[in-house]
Structure 1
Amino acid sequence: MGMMKILIIVTNIGMYASGNLKTGLWLSELTHIYHMAKEKGYDITIASPQGGNIPVDPESLKHFTLDKISEQYWNEDDFRLLLANSEKLSELTQEEYDLIYLAGGHGTMYDFPDDATIQSMARNQFEKGKKVAAICHGVGGLLNVKLSNGEYLIQGKSMTGFDWFEETIARRKREVPFNLEAAIKERGAYLKKAFIPMTSKVVVDGNLITGQNPFSSKEMAKVVIKELEKIKN
């Protein structure tokens, strides 16, 4: 097998609809998968619905949320340049990837769920028997993905995502455009949660891999790489 190719999809939205608070990508949900994939020598593409600049949620840069890996990348000019110049997703539809990974952050709640390119790419990827992964609010990008048979991709699947109680802890309940936990359940998926909120939880159901929250970033990266390495060997 040749080099593994992975596509990481990130948000372009840097503000909640209320205009009161900034949001964006939750940094660790990109850095950990990026770091581990880079160490493995994978071919990594970072893309967003609009292309160009990726806003980063200021909350994810605070000293108590910024882990070593994320801090290291945030301080690298090359990495910051990557974030400023993401590829435009609709220009990559002809590419083949071993993994499509939807990174999270509250910004994704606005531009992921109804993005037709995310939907078609995720559907094609999944129907080809390839890996689809999403973490935290990034799983919102899978909510409206329908398979060729008309069923929702996540219907009947075990998965996880940022739950409503965690939204309360994050004090974003009044800001978010919808309740992600309720939406996942509405689609007929089986939502699994960490025993303790805001701790790591990763769920693998066949080719669907999901992580619950920012604290799952490291475990999520490990699990995703492990699943990809299985194909390779």
Structure 2
Amino acid sequence: MKKILMVLTSVSEIEETGEKTGYNVAEAAHPWKVFKDSGHFVDFASIKGGQPPQDTVDKDDPIQVAFTQDETTRAGLYNTARIDVVDPEQYDGVYLVGGHGTMWDFPDNEGLQKLVGSIYDSGGLVGAVCHGPAGLVNVELKNGLRLVEGRTVAAFTNDEEVAVGKEKIVPFLLQDKLVEQGATHEAAENFEEKVVVDERLVTGQNPASAGGVAKEMEKLFAEAIHQEKAAEQHDSEDLRAAHDAKKSSSHKKREGH
């Protein structure tokens, strides 16, 4: 069973404005359902640990309602692990949930950078949606390159930031920052679904893209499982062939004797 870590912001207010924020519930709930329906185990972590702040729940969205009412999920969110004590070796993938707060506590967090880099370096998947790709900023891999360098990504766009009136409030424009770090940014129209897959990095533009990011991650997991099974089958056949050859050789020796 594949194990996935969902990472959430610990920021509850947008600086200077006092406006309440937290992790975007839709961006957590829809991927959670995809992962859960695929039989994967989902853990939660946040930058500071404990109970992360939650943005508004859309009561008309049954998936968000199910997410907030699921007992296992509620228990996991009640006391999340602090990101810098999480063991990356425990996870096959990490998914960075968006919400405006991530713009303040994701980019400069060394624990998050190390975790994302370690999971990718070990062959795991990295997914992020909307403002979640702020957690990809400054992530370096073992080869010395930034994770996003030379890659194609999607994230909350400059135009979308203007549309929600926060272009002058956020510490930087995420689209611009990713491009500065060497990424190619692809965008759909404002608030339309857009998911980009680049090797084992899967990114989405906005809340409408969250479920799509998880589905693409699932496709990659399925491919990896298929490859693992094929390798196991090949090893089993080799072992059987070696066993048969040894048996045949032993039989011939007995006949010669």
Q: Does TM-score exceed 0.5, indicating one fold?
A: yes
User: 1:1-54, CA deviations, whole angstroms, 9 ceiling, x for partnerless residues?
Assistant: xx1111111111110111421111011111111112112221211001211111
SS in structure 1 at match of 2:44: strand
Q: Report whether the alignment pairs 1:169 with 2:167.
A: no
**Separation (CA, whole Å) in 1 of partners of 2:41 and 2:161:** 34
Structure 1 SS opposite 2:107: coil
Residue 11 of structure 1 aligns with an amino acid whose one-letter code is T
Q: Which residue of 2 aligns with 1:215?
A: 208
* DSSP-derived class of the 2:104 partner: helix
Q: Which residue in 2 is equivalent to 1:30? A: 28
C-alpha RMSD of the superposition:
1.6
Q: Please give the alpha-carbon distance, in whole angstroms, between the structure 2 residues aligned to 1:108 and 1:15.
A: 11
TM-score by length of 2: 0.83
Q: 1:232 aligns with which of 225, 228, 240?
A: 225
Cα 1:231/1:94, change in 2 over 3 Å: closer
In structure 2, give the amino acid aligned to 1:38.
K
Corresponding residue for residue 113 of structure 1 = 107
Percentage identity across paired residues of the two chains: 35
Query: What's the CA shift for 1:105?
Result: 0.5
Q: Distance between the aligned counterparts of 1:14 and 1:107, measured in 2?
A: 7
Does residue 148 (structure 1) correspond to residue 142 (structure 2)? The answer is yes
Higher fraction of helix = 2
* Matched residue count: 226
Q: 1:77 & 1:45 partners in 2: Cα distance?
A: 13
Contact 2:178 2:185 (8 Å CA) reproduced = yes
CA distance in 2, matches of 1:95, 1:137: 25
Q: C-alpha deviations, 1:92-143, integer Å up to 9, x for none?
A: 2253311111111111111110111111111112222221111111101111
Give secondary structure in 2 for the equivalent of 1:47. Answer: strand
Residue 7 (structure 1) aligned to one of 5, 17, 37: 5
Give secondary structure in 1 for the equivalent of 2:74. Answer: helix
Q: In the alignment, is the contact (CA less than 8 A) between 2:127 and 2:214 conserved in 1?
A: no
Helix, strand or coil: the match of 2:89? coil
Contact in 1 for aligned 2:43/2:76 (Cα 8 Å): no
Query: Which one of the candidate residues 115, 120, 123 is aligned to 1:129?
Result: 123
* Residue of structure 2 aligned with 1:46, choices 35, 44, 47: 44
The structure showing larger relative contact order (alpha-carbon pairs under 8 Å, at least 6 residues apart) is: 1
> Take 1:98 and 1:149, find their aligned partners in 2: how far apart are those partners?
20
Gaps of 5+ in 2: 227-257
After TM superposition, the structure 1 = structure 2 runs for residues 89-104 of structure 1, keeping only pairs within 5 Å, are: 89-93=83-87, 95-104=89-98
Letter in structure 1 aligned against 2:133: V
Whole-Å separation in 2 of the counterparts to 1:135 and 1:159? 10
Q: C-alpha distance in 1, partners of 2:167/2:109?
A: 23
Q: 1:153 corresponds to which letter in structure 2?
A: L
Aligned partner letter, 1:57: D
Tell me, yes or no, if structure 1 residue 199 matches structure 2 residue 192: yes
Rg larger for? 2
Between 213-222 and 77-86, the greater mean CA deviation after superposition? 77-86
Q: TM-score, normalised by structure 1?
A: 0.91
Shift of 1:76: 4.2
Q: What are the ranges of 5 or more consecutive residues in structure 1 without an aligned counterpart? A: none
Which secondary structure state, in structure 2, belongs to the residue aligned with residue 57 of structure 1? coil
